[in-house]
Chain A
Amino acid sequence: MMILPSVAEIGPLVAFAAILCALMLGAAMLLTLWRIARGPSLPDRVVGLDLVALLAVSVIGLLALVHHEAAFLDAALALALVAFLSTIALARYAVQRPRSGSRPERPEEEQP
């Protein structure tokens, strides 16, 4: 395995920093995943998801830097723009429950 892609046009110091940054971002992703899996409340998971999107934007930034590819930033921009939407939707999902009567159940798997 290579540490960085062979096309990298970056200096050694930047490369070193990029590797560390990549490791940190990867670790951050997995940690966040743990929180999403663990919960315990719905808002906890939503916080995790929100952070995942943010970390993904960072990852894309890192990729753009490593590859020297400005085009990648468009993906980051799009993600930054829309990730917000899913957070809003999920937060609303957390707060809204089915009206009593129509469906008895509520998201019982997560403790409030």
Chain B
Amino acid sequence: MSITLSDVVVAFLLLSGGFFSLVAALGVVRLPDVFIRMHASTKAGTLGGGLIMAAVAVELWDAGVTARVIAIIAFLLLTAPIAAHIIGRAAYRIGVPLWEASVVDEWRGREDPAPPEELDTGPQRPTQPLPPPASGSVQG
């Protein structure tokens, strides 16, 4: 059995896809706060998924398959950041702390008023992980 160029491409795509998927998971496990973890899952995860899908498209090499692969990748690219956005703002709103090594939080103090439903929800975030001032200044 000979190894074709297509095989090489597919193998590379598969391996890199698997690698980035694993990286995403590792990131979610190892990185220090939820915001940083989302960097890993959103970027590496999407890339990993996209690469594997690309491998499928190359391996099966068919218009229908390619159309589906493109649709899947497009969809992932569209939804992953939105999901990250929704999770991220939720995390920020309920007061999930930033990693203590974070250098700046310009958002703090400038949040939009919560919608009515959320206004009278339980106690607001009791503490902020970062000391004021919340201007753009960089902390060492």
A interface residue numbers (CB < 8 A to B): 10-14, 16-18, 20-25, 27-29, 31-32, 34-35, 41-44, 46-48, 50-51, 54-55, 57-58, 61-62, 64-65, 68, 70, 73-74, 76-77, 80-81, 83-84, 87-88, 91-92, 94-101, 106, 112
Q: Is residue B117 within 8 Å, beta carbon to beta carbon, of the partner chain?
A: yes
Q: A51-B41, A80-B76 are in contact. Are A95 and B25 (CB under 8 A)?
A: no
How far apart are B24's CB and chain A's nearest CB, in angstroms?
Answer: 6
Q: Is the beta-carbon distance between B25 and A55 smaller than 8 angstroms?
A: yes
Interface of A is mostly: helix
| Alpha-carbon distance between A47 and B65 when the two chains are bound, in angstroms | 29
> Hey, which chain B residues are within 8 Å of A22, CB to CB?
18
Q: Is the beta-carbon distance between B64 and A95 smaller than 8 angstroms?
A: no
Q: Is the beta-carbon distance between A18 and B14 smaller than 8 angstroms?
A: yes
> Hey, which chain A residues are within 8 Å of B55, CB to CB?
61, 65
Q: Is the beta-carbon distance between B45 and A54 smaller than 8 angstroms?
A: yes
Q: Is the beta-carbon distance between B10 and A42 smaller than 8 angstroms?
A: no
Q: Is the beta-carbon distance between B45 and A55 smaller than 8 angstroms?
A: yes
Which 3 residue pairs of A and B lie closest in terms of their CB atoms, listed nearest first? Answer: A28-B25, A21-B18, A24-B18
| Alpha-carbon distance between A41 and B88 when the two chains are bound, in angstroms | 12
Q: Is residue B101 within 8 Å, beta carbon to beta carbon, of the partner chain?
A: no
Could you give 23 example pairs across A and B, Cβ below 8 Å? A11-B1, A11-B4, A20-B14, A28-B24, A31-B26, A35-B37, A41-B94, A43-B91, A43-B96, A44-B37, A50-B41, A51-B24, A54-B45, A54-B80, A57-B76, A61-B49, A61-B52, A70-B65, A76-B53, A76-B68, A95-B118, A96-B118, A106-B122
Q: Is the beta-carbon distance between B59 and A65 smaller than 8 angstroms?
A: yes
Q: Is the beta-carbon distance between B25 and A27 smaller than 8 angstroms?
A: yes
| Alpha-carbon distance between A98 and B7 when the two chains are bound, in angstroms | 55
> Hey, which chain B residues are within 8 Å of A20, CB to CB?
14-15, 18
Q: Name the one of B29, B59, B75, B94 contacting A112, with C-beta atoms under 8 angstroms.
A: B94
